[in-house]
Homo-oligomer: A and B are copies of this chain.
Amino acid sequence: MKFSVSEENYIKGIYHLQQQNGSANTNALAGHLQTKAASVTDMLKKLSAKKLLHYQPYKGFALTEKGNKAALIIVRRHRLWEFFLVEKLGFDWDKVHAIAEELEHVGGDELIERLGNYLGNPLTDPHGDPIPDSQGRMPVIAQVTLCDLPLNKLLAVSAVTNQSPEMLEMLNHYGIAIGSRIKVKKHFAFDGSLEIIVNKQACVISGQAAKNIFVHYAE
């Protein structure tokens, strides 16, 4: 089934809110999509009529099986294009979101299948987020945060969940990106902050920041 650009944006927005908070609501979705609550309600009715949403006025809504599948396909398109923009065109990984947001609505299945093959069907995008396969299945990737791991082992950053401008600015300042090599030198039990080594430089990051930095063993 083929959806409008607007419908796809709502489907994806609902999906992300459900992932983040367990559920979505009208106001949060309006905030996420930079639109107004009334517009959201209109679209909820449309998506509900297309069986993409379970929706009961005033009570709430959630993606149906069909809606979830549709969302995963859109997420796949978005992340493959992000991969392309970074790996092939050389964009910085923190500047590709807006462009991928447009590219994700273009063309049909054949384009995305060919793009996936061309890129080697990567499992994660440049932010470290997993890329669903053509059936909408998410690859299972062990996600462990910096906090959870033993000291002095060589780790590589695989994902950053909080992608607020503030967070990205901080990461940029310390030179932390996907693939960066990190060693945890010390763990302060008092506030959860960590002393780490990145790019051969020692620095301290808060427990709050560390919770959003996912890593895997490197080398």
Interface of A toward B, CB cutoff 8 Å: 85, 88-91, 99, 102-103, 106-107, 111, 114-115, 118
Instruction: Pick the most buried of A89, A91, A99: most chain B CB atoms within 10 A of its CB.
Output: A89
Q: List 9 A-B contacts (CB under 8 A).
A: A88-B118, A89-B111, A90-B114, A90-B118, A99-B106, A102-B106, A102-B107, A103-B103, A103-B106
Instruction: Pick the most buried of A88, A90, A99, A106: most chain B CB atoms within 10 A of its CB.
Output: A106
Say how many copies of this protein the assembly contains: 2
Tell me the smallest distance from the CB of A96 to a CB of chain B, in Å: 10
Which B residues touch A115, using CB under 8 A?
A: 89
Which B residues touch A118, using CB under 8 A?
A: 88-90
Interface of A, secondary structure class, is helix
> How far, in angstroms, from A118 to B87 measured CA to CA in the complex?
11
Which B residues touch A114, using CB under 8 A?
A: 89-91
Which B-chain residue is minimally distant from A103 (CB atoms)? B106
Which B-chain residue is minimally distant from A105 (CB atoms)? B102
> How far, in angstroms, from A90 to B99 measured CA to CA in the complex?
23
Nearest 4 CB-CB pairings of A with B: A89-B114, A102-B106, A99-B107, A89-B118
Which B residues touch A91, using CB under 8 A?
A: 114
> How far, in angstroms, from A88 to B111 measured CA to CA in the complex?
11
Tell me the smallest distance from the CB of A109 to a CB of chain B, in Å: 12
Which B residues touch A88, using CB under 8 A?
A: 118
Q: What 7 additional pairs, Cβ within 8 angstroms, besides A90-B118, A91-B114?
A: A89-B114, A89-B115, A99-B106, A99-B107, A102-B107, A103-B106, A106-B106
Which B-chain residue is minimally distant from A108 (CB atoms)? B99
Which B residues touch A90, using CB under 8 A?
A: 114, 118
